[in-house]
């Protein structure tokens, strides 16, 4: 008998850029126009929207000013995305295991 847990698909985190991209498409705003109005380069905006660049505090505040989106929500999404990506990274997991072994006496 196969357990349900063995059939689960791993959680795939959502980069805040995906939400932002959906939002600007819904509002029918071009990336170039939004970048110009926000005072950032088109490539910077495009990289965020395609998950290749992180949303930092300054960008979150700019998105709040431009689109009325909650900057804390965007930053929390970015943090959760970063945590999930780090947890999925094999080298990071190996490093954690080594640190846990070395620091076991501290616990």
pLDDT at 2: 52
pLDDT digits (tens, 9 = 90+) for 5-43: 555 556 688 999 999 999 999 999 999 999 999 999 999
- Choosing among 3.50.50.60, 3.30.70.20, 1.10.260.40, 3.40.50.300, the CATH entry for 14-106 is 1.10.260.40
Residue in 70, 83, 15, 79 with CA at minimum distance from that of residue 47: 15
pTM greater than 0.85 (yes/no)? no
pLDDT (0 to 100) of residue 9:
56
Average pLDDT of the residues in 61-69: 99
Q: What's phi and psi for 53, nearest 5 deg?
A: -135, 145
Mean pLDDT of the region 90-102: 91
What are the distances in angstroms from CA 99 to CA 82, 83, 91, 94, 105?
Answer: 20, 18, 12, 9, 11
């Amino acid at each position: 008998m196969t357990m349900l847990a063995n059939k689960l698909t791993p959680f795939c985190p959502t980069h805040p850029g995906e939400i932002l991209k959906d939002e600007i498409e819904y509002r029918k705003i071009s990336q170039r126009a939004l970048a110009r109005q926000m005072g950032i380069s088109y490539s910077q905006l495009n990289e965020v929207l395609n998950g290749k660049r992180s949303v930092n505090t300054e960008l979150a505040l700019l998105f709040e000013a431009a689109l009325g989106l909650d900057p804390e929500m965007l930053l929390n999404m970015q943090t959760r995305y970063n945590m999930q990506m780090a947890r999925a990274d094999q080298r990071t997991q190996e490093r954690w295991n080594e640190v846990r072994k070395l620091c076991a006496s501290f616990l």
